[in-house]
Structure 1
Amino acid sequence: MRPLDGITVVDFSRVLAGPFATQILADLGADVIKVERPGGGDESRSFEPRLPAGESAYYFAFNRGKKSVTLNLRTTRGQEIARALACRADVVVENFMPGTMDKYGLGYEALAALNPGLVYVSSTGFGQSGPYSDRKGYDTVFQALSGIMSLTGHPDTPPAKVGIPVSDLTSGLWIVISALTGLMERRRGGRGGHVDLAMMDVQASLLALAAARIFALDEDPGRTGTAHPGRVPSSAFQCADGGWLHISGSDQHWGPLCEVLGLGELAADPELTANEGRVAQRERVTAALAEAIGRRPRNELAEALRAVDVPVGEVKSAREALSDPHLGARGMVGHFDHPTEGRFSALRTPLRLDGADYPEPGVPPLLGADTEDVLADLLGLDRDEIARLHDEGTI
């Protein structure tokens, strides 16, 4: 058994944030029906990198374990079928521009009238209201507008995007939170509800520490590289072999750190015992640490610091991180067997619930692979009707 067994999700979302969310729900046991455009499907099916049989590894990353149904929402019959699917759903996820689903007769009010228990999550760039609600945007646009890009990079370099699509991924997590919250509210009151989730709002919520400095100090934070604005030491340092080591310590780590690095003078300075003093003398402390760390090989120094409980992390490439023996022991990299691409590696959902099965990565569906089965088994359409829908371009 998995936590969401028996929950049906109809997924109208495309590309990243929504599909990432519904993939998590599928991993947790939900039956996710992904509605895609006939002919092309989710845009990400054409994204790089492409695999030998033509499938997209990008699509694979966010659409495992779902059923794919092709449906032309621009047609009256397609809209009728979509409504019928929503009537049998617990959750609907969509990421169209505001008003689009209403135009198709698939907005929350129309569907809730047919299915009062429906939890309906609208994930848009700027929300259903506000002066920017009709704007389009992508991950890096939200990184720029939210202030995240201005905070990323080193003080003497231009703004930089985060190395992963952080706006999309964090919005996807909030879609999951929204869906689960809606299901809990329905359990208590019997009705579902409409969640207006804006990616811009999600990014603003991530500014908690930066906002704290604005609210407390009237300071607009800038780029600090790998350094922490309120803690010293907390930064990455280059080692003798060219590798980088990130050290992040509190007051209790300061003495052991200095001992391993041979910095007795700093350890003996009472002004540096507390973090406040080290922050005030950031340049002096950082320079001394950089010089001492620069004389030691990365891996040797990392082990020496771990031996005295100083928190450190080697700065690894993505390949190195995914090959780490700890992640291997935790089983974070799994695989699935795809009908055309064969065995393919995949990251597993990290949630582990005591007493529940730890899900293996599901298989990403071929475009429209489940259309006939879903329409026949869930909606009761016969094969002749399904053939007519196909001939007229509805599916």
Structure 2
Amino acid sequence: MTAALAGLRILDLSRVLAGPYCSMIFGDLGAEVIKIEAPGGSDETRNWGPPFQNGVSAYYLSTNRNKESLLLDLRTDEGRDQFLKLVETSDVILHNFKTGSMEKLRLSYEQLAAINPRIVYCAITGFGETGPLKDLPGYDFILQGMSGLMQVTGTTESGPQKMGVAIVDIITGLYACIGIQAALLERTASGKGQKLDLSLYDCAVSSLVNIGSSYLMTGIEPTRRGNTHAQIAPYQTFATKDGTVIVAVGTNAQFQALCSLLNWEPPESFSTNAGRVENREALTSMLQLYFQDNTLTHWVTAMRAVGIPCGPVHTFTDLVNDPQLAERGMWVTQQHPVAGKIRLIGSPLKLSRTPVRYRLAPPEPGEHQSKWL
């Protein structure tokens, strides 16, 4: 069975998260991904921990499966020549060096396109290759703050909070996948590659969606709402006897179903969503009295049975034991040459004819040197 992206060759010069996450998706879909690092292994995540398993970082393992590893010193003529030889037969070059770094190495898009006009060249930088901030490095945490994401995360009391994962890097990695595949698709008609100038800052701002649109429409600064929703109620968490439940009532019919389940006759002021939003504090206090009297499992089972959108706030122990995720193949086991048996999060992509395959464990530095040099 041929993989969806079999036949594509990606030269991945990126490190840490946004770029490696992008190239791992390509590898999962069957592309040949060559992870290129400086001698010794220059991806910082190899040393980020704990935890480590037999000296191998969990962070590194999380985004580098289905890749081969090659060590090149691009600052030397030999390393540059070896890289240029690979460019001749490759489809994509991916990097996340600071703006101007590839030009200093004499590996600009223009220079590489002269060797291979079909090459798709994706440059991921903190702020893009234009604008007054173009020379600054990009870090997910900083971009969460600058983009407005932290301004709307947390509560009034907590102050701005970052998300628990490096969401800007993940969003940027996904945009990189979209942009690269768009360029490859266009290449089938034009026969020519092109350059993608991708900014973490731009990608973070794009994720503001309705919150950003609301500000552009009104000029009113959004507030941090914690686990509540600005325009819907009840759309929030409630404490149960043994855990936290999320209730996401989006329609009047769903609210009526919730009231029937609770055997509760709400006041007239709660009959519309606008009224519930206006009287959110009173609504929350009343509902909390019901939810705290029974278990998380009880409420999730009861609400799902009558069509009320809800779900538990899982611990990670809950998560890895969820039969839904097991059925969907979201936990993957591989054998690593140093770490031994490792468990990874699987791909969410479910293709009917060309399924994702986990061919290669995350490589050790230079593991495939003899194959390519």
Q: Same fold (TM over 0.5)?
A: yes
Matched, 1:366 2:364: yes
What letter matches 1:367 in structure 2? Answer: P
Query: What is the identity percentage for the equivalent residue pairs of Structure 1 and Structure 2?
Result: 36
How do 1:302-313 and structure 2 match up within 5 A? 302-313=300-311
Q: Which residue pairs with 2:6 in the alignment?
A: 5
Question: Cα RMSD (Å) of the superposition?
Answer: 1.3
Q: Which residue pairs with 1:152 in the alignment?
A: 153
Report deviation, 1:153.
0.8
Which of 277, 280, 285 is the equivalent residue of 1:279?
277
Secondary structure at the counterpart of residue 316 of structure 1? coil
Matched, 1:324 2:322: yes
Q: Which residue pairs with 1:344 in the alignment?
A: 342
8 Å CA contact 1:167, 1:203 repeated in 2: yes
Report deviation, 1:42.
1.3
Aligned residues: 371
Report deviation, 1:360.
2.8
What letter matches 2:246 in structure 1? Answer: H
Report deviation, 1:2.
1.0
Secondary structure at the counterpart of residue 222 of structure 1? coil
What is the CA deviation profile of residues 31-83 of structure 1, one whole-angstrom value per residue up to 9, with x for unaligned ones?
A: 00111110233111111134342111111111111010000011122112112
Report deviation, 1:179.
1.1
8 Å CA contact 1:12, 1:93 repeated in 2: yes
Q: Which residue pairs with 1:93 in the alignment?
A: 94
8 Å CA contact 2:123, 2:196 repeated in 1: yes
Q: Which residue pairs with 1:388 in the alignment?
A: none
Report deviation, 1:373.
0.7
Q: Which runs of 4+ in 1 moved over 4 A?
A: none
8 Å CA contact 1:27, 1:362 repeated in 2: no
Secondary structure at the counterpart of residue 11 of structure 2? strand
**Aligned mates of 1:138, 1:308 — CA distance in 2:** 45
8 Å CA contact 1:348, 1:361 repeated in 2: no
Q: Which residue pairs with 1:217 in the alignment?
A: 218
8 Å CA contact 1:5, 1:31 repeated in 2: yes
**Aligned mates of 1:66, 1:298 — CA distance in 2:** 42
How do 1:42-81 and structure 2 match up within 5 A? 42-81=43-82
8 Å CA contact 2:29, 2:355 repeated in 1: no
Secondary structure at the counterpart of residue 93 of structure 2? strand
Q: Which residue pairs with 1:195 in the alignment?
A: 196
Secondary structure at the counterpart of residue 266 of structure 2? helix
TM-score under structure 1 normalisation? 0.91
8 Å CA contact 1:335, 1:361 repeated in 2: no
8 Å CA contact 1:18, 1:93 repeated in 2: yes
Q: Which residue pairs with 1:83 in the alignment?
A: 84
8 Å CA contact 2:334, 2:361 repeated in 1: yes
**Aligned mates of 1:355, 1:206 — CA distance in 2:** 31
Bigger mean CA deviation after superposition, 361-370 or 100-109: 361-370
8 Å CA contact 1:33, 1:67 repeated in 2: yes
8 Å CA contact 1:2, 1:28 repeated in 2: yes
What letter matches 1:332 in structure 2? Answer: M
Q: Which residue pairs with 1:393 in the alignment?
A: none
How do 1:251-266 and structure 2 match up within 5 A? 251=251, 252-266=253-267
Secondary structure at the counterpart of residue 264 of structure 1? coil
Secondary structure at the counterpart of residue 29 of structure 1? coil
Secondary structure at the counterpart of residue 52 of structure 2? coil
8 Å CA contact 1:335, 1:360 repeated in 2: no
8 Å CA contact 2:41, 2:71 repeated in 1: no
How do 1:103-114 and structure 2 match up within 5 A? 103-114=104-115
What letter matches 2:344 in structure 1? Answer: A
Report deviation, 1:361.
6.2
8 Å CA contact 1:125, 1:199 repeated in 2: yes
Structure 2 gaps, min length 5: none
Bigger mean CA deviation after superposition, 356-365 or 25-34: 356-365
Report deviation, 1:154.
1.6
What is the CA deviation profile of residues 259-303 of structure 1, one whole-angstrom value per residue up to 9, with x for unaligned ones?
A: 11232134xx2x433322222222222222222212222111111
